[in-house]
Structure formats: C-alpha cells, structure tokens
Structure 1
Amino acid sequence: MPKMVLLAEYLSINANVLNEYTKKAELAIEVEAKDVTNYASMGWKEVTGGLKSGELGCEFLQDFAATELDSIMWPLLGTVVPFEVRADQAAVGASNPSYSGSILIKGWNPITGSVGDEATVSLTFPTSGAVARATA
C-alpha cells in the first residue's frame, strides 16, 4: 500500500508562490446532500447531490517585511483571486495532481498569538466557482 508524507506542499494565491510561509494547506470539497425522499422510498431516506463548495484552509508563518506575506495578502482582502495547491512542489503529473480555482479572501488576521508563540496566521478561504483537478 502506498504511503506519503507531506514534505513540500505547493501553494500559490493570486500568482504568489507562498511555500516559504506555508505550514499547512488543506483543500476540502463537498457536495450538499439534498433530501429527495418520497412515499415510494418505502421508509428509507433518499438523497442526491446538490451544490458543490470548497474551502482552502491555510496556516502561515507571518512576515511583515516589505514584499513579504503581510504585504502580499493585505491588499487581497475582500477580493476573489486564483489559487493552486498540490501535494508536492514537483511538476504536475498523474502522481502529483494540481487543484486550482478561485477563493474569496474574506479575512486576514495579521497579529495573533500569545507570549512566546510563533507569529502565525490561520485562515480558511471559501472557494468561488469550480475547482479543477489537473494531471498535466
């Protein structure tokens, strides 16, 4: 059985490759379950797929220096921008698919943490429109 350890995820937001700041990137896609139960269902609930949606969860190491993370993300607040994420920074292929689409930068937490903590930013961005999977 194949096994994989994530060592070099790739994350791009608005054409900015953010690997050097990224501690975690998680893409979750789901489909609404719509209840279509009727009397012919014979007492069993029946469901069908409805609208699809997704979220890109990220944890970053914060950097306030000019041209670094905070100056990249702050101007994007409130906008829909493209993203791409893959399990490895290697080229896209059958064993390293790319997932891409658009996300809404609905928030930015520039300063969080307690005394002695790493300066990190953890946020979840909703997808906007379709998310594509590519292997070439």
Structure 2
Amino acid sequence: MAKMVLLAAFVSLGGNDLSSYTRKAELTTEVEDKDVTTYASLGWKEVLGGLKSGELSLEFLQDVAATKIDSIMWPLLGTVVPFVVRLDNSAKSANNPEWTGNVLINGWNPIEGGVGDEAAVSVGYPTSGAVARAVA
C-alpha cells in the first residue's frame, strides 16, 4: 500500500483557489441507516441506507487585506457554491482523484483565536446535493 503525506492539497470554493490559505481540509460523507428490522429478522437488526450527506471542514489562515480570503468568503455567506478538493494540486487523475459538489456557506468567523495565536478560521460546510469522485 502506498503512503502519502499531504503537502500540496487543492481546495476551491465558488471558483476561488483557496489552497494558499488552507492548512487543513476534510471531506466527510455518510449515509443514514434506516432500521427495517421485522420479526422475520430472527432477533438481528437489519438496516438499509437512507439519505446521504456530507461536510467539508476547512481551516484557513486568515488574511483581511483587500482581495484576500476574508474578502472572498464574506460575500459567499448564505450561498450555495461549488467546491473542488484534491489530495494534490496537480491535475486530477487515477492517482489524484477529485471530489466535487456544492456546499452551503453557513458561517464565517472573521476573528478566532487568543493572544499569541496565529489568525486562523475553522469552518464546516454541509454539502448540498451529490458529491462526486472523478479521476479523469
């Protein structure tokens, strides 16, 4: 099995390449489990998959200068925007899959941290609609 160290992941929100601000990215997906147990299950629980959902969690280094991350994210607040993430910033391929979809920008924390901390912003955006994985 190959091993990998994340050194240059790619993160885009709303068509904006935010990789240079991003220091942590996590895309999680899940499926609800629906209990369909009956007496015929003989005491064993049976489940089927229900609705799928996901979340794109990101940690950015804050920059409030004109045209930087704060001025990019603030206008997106409350909107659904496309996202693209890859483990490496090179083109998508069989060795560098790309995950895409849409997320609701449901919050933005312009100020986060304490004395002596780096100015960072942690967010978690729910997916809206399908998440796709592509290799070409």
TM category, shorter = over 0.9
> Hey, what's the Cα distance between the residues in 2 that align with 1:83 and 1:11?
7
| Identical positions, percent | 69
Quote the residue 1:9 is aligned against.
9
Q: Tell me how far apart the structure 2 counterparts of residues 48 and 100 of structure 1 sit (CA, whole Å).
A: 25
Aligned residue for 2:121?
121
Shift in Å at residue 36 of structure 1? 0.4
TM-score by length of 2: 0.99
Query: What amino acid sits opposite 2:117 in the alignment?
Result: D
State the 1:126 CA deviation.
0.1
User: What number of residue pairs does the alignment pair up?
Assistant: 136
Structure 1-normalised TM-score? 0.99
- d(CA) in 2 for partners of 1:2 and 1:68? 36
Q: Residue 69 of structure 1: CA displacement?
A: 0.2
Q: Unmatched 5+ residue regions in structure 2?
A: none
Letter of the 1:50 partner, please give it.
G
Deviation at 1:35, TM superposition (A): 0.4
Shift of 1:98: 0.4
Unaligned runs of 5+ in 1: none
**Is 1:101 matched up with 2:106?**
no
